[in-house]
Every structure is written in structure tokens, then in C-alpha cells.
């Protein structure tokens, strides 16, 4: 006979670059886990009906149950962290023991011992998991990364449409935004198609995007573009290097995300859609207290976060030799910017349910 007290492993894919971020997002994550548990509870009820003739079955309870009967205490979670193969998975793995300890301290031994974390290297613009093997997918600030810089930014004759910029800025030609949008639509559609096969029917997907709220808010790449431009005028970087560099990152508008989801057709958009602003500086946990006291400390903190995410791109294109200088200049530009203006990102959280 099927034992309903056995541990039910729930497989969850977490799009994740940094484990620390995972801790900060845990409140939202826990809400998602709760929804998963509710869904499984419903499934258990169905199974209970199937076995109603059997008298010895004890169905675990979400709340209130004790010991073997407690569903919450007997559930287990298998969490897969995904990133590109070039990600530093060694550092991630090394941080796991302390993460498990923290989990046990904060959530109790039961929870800590029933969470199993693994990693899956590969691009999410393609298949990562077997069919119907996931219950919940969580992607945080990652779908803004395109599979490549849009091809349409360089004309057939090799002329760059976004000449002096490394991203979409106020001075970019409208065709630049269009080229980025085309790439985003194609990539996001590929992502949805890949995940629809992996998610079980009724499974949920929570996606967190940096969005463009249509009123132009400078992105933190703008001061980086200015720093690189200065280096070009001082002869430290070739002009052609700047002209041929475009960040493979896009901030979609709310309606652009919706349109792709509707066109692709495998997911219903759940009614909950949350938008909020994240301050560039306040969102940082100040890891280096000495930086707080430095004149360019604020800029350095933001710059080091941004650079750590995009450094491989910059090194491949501009070379290792200019990186320190670029970082210093970027920190100064960011600090100057933050002295007079607000710096924040607009975030959208969207919850999808597989049809
Ligand atoms: C801005 S970080 C977000 C990290 C983390 N999820 C968070 O919320 O802080 C974006 C991450 O997405 C990863 N990434 C970009 N494109 C990817 C792809 N096609 N497949 C898998 N990971 C990708 C990058 O390597 C990077 O670690």
C-alpha cells in the first residue's frame, strides 16, 4: 500500500547567480513554497479519496499535524540552481554548508535537513530538465539577459546604429530599441517553450524582471558608457571597440512581457503582479564598511556589483588591461550621478500558471 507519510520531494528550479541573494529573497520564495505545498495538499486529498477504503492511511496535515503526521515537517525540497556553464559553481558549492546551517538555525533542523540543493549548468534559452519534472520555477533578474546582443544593431555595411552607446540611451535611434525588443521577444519565447515542457501541468513560474517604466530612467550602464567614452577620447580604448559593443541586456516594458506570454500561449498570467522600485544603493548589503567612508564609496559599491555581473563580457571585448581603470572611472561617474539624482531599478514580479 502506498505510504502517505513518505517524504514527497518537490523539485524547484531557482534561477540563481548568488546564494546570498537567495537569502534576501527568501520571504517571497517562502510564499511560493507555501503555494506549492497547498497544491500538493490538494493532490494528497485526491489520493486520499482513491484510497478511502483503506483505514490505516494517515494523510499528513499542512498545519497542526505533529511528528509523522505533519505534512510541513515531512515535506522535502529539491532545489536546482541554474546558471551559464561559465558561472563560478565552485564558490556556490562551497557556500552550501553554511547555507544549510543557516537554514537549520532559521527554520529548524527538520526544514534544513529536508532541503536538497543541486546545480544545473546550461543556458535557460534551451532545455535543462526532463519533461514534467518541475513544480515551481523561479527566475530572478536573469531574463533581462539576452542570448546575444541584437544582430540588427550593425547594418549590412558594418555601420553601428548605436555608435557611442553601449546600451539603449536617450540619444539612441528608435531602431536600436526595436532591435533589442526583437531579440527579447525571440529569447523570451524560447525560454517559455523550454519551461512549458519541464513544468508539470498547473505548475507555477515566478519571474522577476527589471522593467522599463517608459519614463526614461537612466540605467546604471549609462555612467559606464560615459566612462568608456572618456577612455576612447584619451586614446586608451579604440573607437571601433566602443562602436561594436552593445550590452546583451534589455529592460522590457510590462506590456511587452505580457504580449510574448500571450502569443506563446502555454501559460496563464496569474492576477498577482507586483511592481516596486529597488534603490541602487539601498539594495546593497554593505560588505565593506571602509567603502562607506570613502568619497567614491557609494559608486564603488554599485560599480562592483554591476561589474561582477558583466566583467566577462567587458574583458572579452575590451581586454583585461583596461579593466581596473574602467572600474575606477565608472565608480567616480556613478558617485557623481548619485550626488544629484536618484538611482533605482523598477522591478516587476509576474506569476504564471502552466495551462
Ligand atoms: C543579474 S544576475 C541575477 C542573479 C540572481 N538570480 C539574483 O537575483 O541576484 C543574472 C544571472 O543570470 C545568468 N544568466 C544570464 N544568461 C543566462 C542564460 N542564458 N542561462 C542561464 N543563466 C543566465 C548570469 O550568468 C547571472 O548570474
pLDDT in tens, the chain (355 residues): 333 333 333 444 443 333 444 444 444 555 555 665 566 566 555 544 443 433 333 444 445 556 666 666 667 889 999 999 988 899 999 999 999 999 889 888 877 788 899 999 999 999 999 999 999 999 999 999 999 999 888 777 777 888 888 888 877 888 899 999 999 999 999 999 999 999 999 999 999 999 986 555 567 788 899 999 999 999 999 999 998 899 999 999 999 999 999 999 999 998 667 777 777 766 655 555 555 556 667 788 888 888 888 888 899 999 999 999 999 999 998 888 888 877 778 889 999 999 9
Q: From the CB of residue 97, how many other CB atoms can be counted at a distance below 10 Å?
A: 9
**Edge-to-edge strand order for the sheet containing 134-140?**
115-121, 76-83, 9-15, 134-140, 199-211, 344-354, 267-279
Q: What is the pLDDT of residue 276?
A: 76
Q: What is the pLDDT of residue 67?
A: 65
83: Cβ below 6 Å to ligand 1? yes
Q: What is the pLDDT of residue 233?
A: 95
Q: Which atom of ligand 1 is nearest to the CA of 146?
A: 16
CB 16 within 8 A of CB 48: no
Name the closest-CA residue to atom 10, ligand 1: 142
Q: How far is CA 45 from CA 42, 56, 61, 135, in A?
A: 5, 15, 10, 18
CA 335 from centroid of its chain's CA atoms: 26
The strand ranges marked E within the chain are 9-15, 76-83, 115-121, 134-140, 199-211, 267-279, 344-354
Cα(68) to centroid(ligand 1), Å: 39
Cα(123) to centroid(ligand 1), Å: 9
Tell me the β-bridge partners of 274.
Answer: 349
Distance CA 222, CA 247 (A): 11
Reduced to 3 states (helix: H, G, I; strand: E, B; else coil), residue 176 is helix
* Nearest of 220, 202, 201 to residue 210 by alpha carbon: 220
CA 86 from centroid of its chain's CA atoms: 16
* Nearest of 263, 205, 15 to residue 124 by alpha carbon: 15
18: Cβ below 6 Å to ligand 1? yes
Helix/strand number for the chain, H first, E second: 13, 7
CB 80 within 8 A of CB 136: no
Ligand 1 mutation target, pool 84, 120, 143, 316, most atoms within 8 A of CB: 84
Amino acid at each position: 500500500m502506498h505510504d502517505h507519510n513518505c517524504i514527497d520531494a518537490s523539485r524547484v528550479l531557482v534561477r540563481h547567480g548568488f546564494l546570498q541573494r537567495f537569502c534576501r529573497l527568501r520571504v517571497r520564495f517562502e510564499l511560493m513554497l507555501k503555494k506549492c505545498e497547498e497544491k500538493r495538499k490538494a493532490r494528497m486529498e485526491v489520493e486520499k479519496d482513491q484510497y478511502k477504503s483503506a483505514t490505516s492511511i494517515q494523510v499528513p496535515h499542512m498545519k497542526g499535524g505533529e511528528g509523522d503526521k505533519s505534512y510541513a515537517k515531512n515535506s522535502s525540497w529539491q532545489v536546482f540552481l541554474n546558471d551559464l556553464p561559465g558561472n563560478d559553481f565552485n564558490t556556490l558549492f562551497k557556500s552550501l554548508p553554511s547555507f544549510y546551517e543557516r537554514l537549520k538555525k532559521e527554520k529548524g533542523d527538520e526544514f534544513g535537513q529536508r532541503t536538497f540543493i543541486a546545480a544545473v549548468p546550461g543556458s535557460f534559452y534551451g532545455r535543462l530538465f526532463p519533461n514534467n519534472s518541475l513544480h515551481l520555477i523561479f527566475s530572478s533578474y536573469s531574463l533581462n539577459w539576452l542570448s546575444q546582443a541584437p544582430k540588427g544593431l550593425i547594418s549590412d555595411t558594418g555601420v553601428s546604429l548605436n555608435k557611442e552607446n553601449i546600451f539603449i540611451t536617450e540619444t539612441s535611434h528608435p531602431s536600436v530599441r526595436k532591435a533589442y525588443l526583437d531579440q527579447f521577444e525571440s529569447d523570451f519565447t524560447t525560454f517559455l517553450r523550454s519551461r512549458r515542457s519541464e513544468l508539470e501541468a498547473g505548475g507555477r513560474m515566478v519571474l522577476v524582471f527589471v522593467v522599463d517604466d517608459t519614463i526614461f530612467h537612466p540605467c546604471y550602464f549609462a555612467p559606464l558608457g560615459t566612462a568608456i567614452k572618456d577612455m576612447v577620447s584619451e586614446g586608451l580604448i579604440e573607437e571601433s571597440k566602443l562602436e561594436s559593443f552593445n550590452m546583451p541586456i534589455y529592460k522590457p516594458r510590462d506590456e511587452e512581457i505580457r504580449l510574448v506570454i500571450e502569443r506563446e500561449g502555454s501559460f496563464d498570467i496569474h492576477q498577482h503582479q507586483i511592481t516596486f522600485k529597488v534603490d541602487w544603493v539601498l539594495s546593497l548589503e554593505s560588505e565593506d564598511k571602509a567603502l562607506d567612508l570613502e568619497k567614491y564609496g557609494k559608486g564603488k559599491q554599485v560599480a562592483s556589483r554591476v561589474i561582477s555581473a558583466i566583467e566577462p563580457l567587458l574583458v572579452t571585448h575590451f581586454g583585461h588591461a583596461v579593466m581596473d581603470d574602467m572600474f575606477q572611472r565608472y565608480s567616480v561617474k556613478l558617485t557623481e550621478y548619485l550626488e544629484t539624482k536618484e538611482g533605482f531599478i523598477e522591478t516587476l514580479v509576474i506569476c504564471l500558471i502552466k495551462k
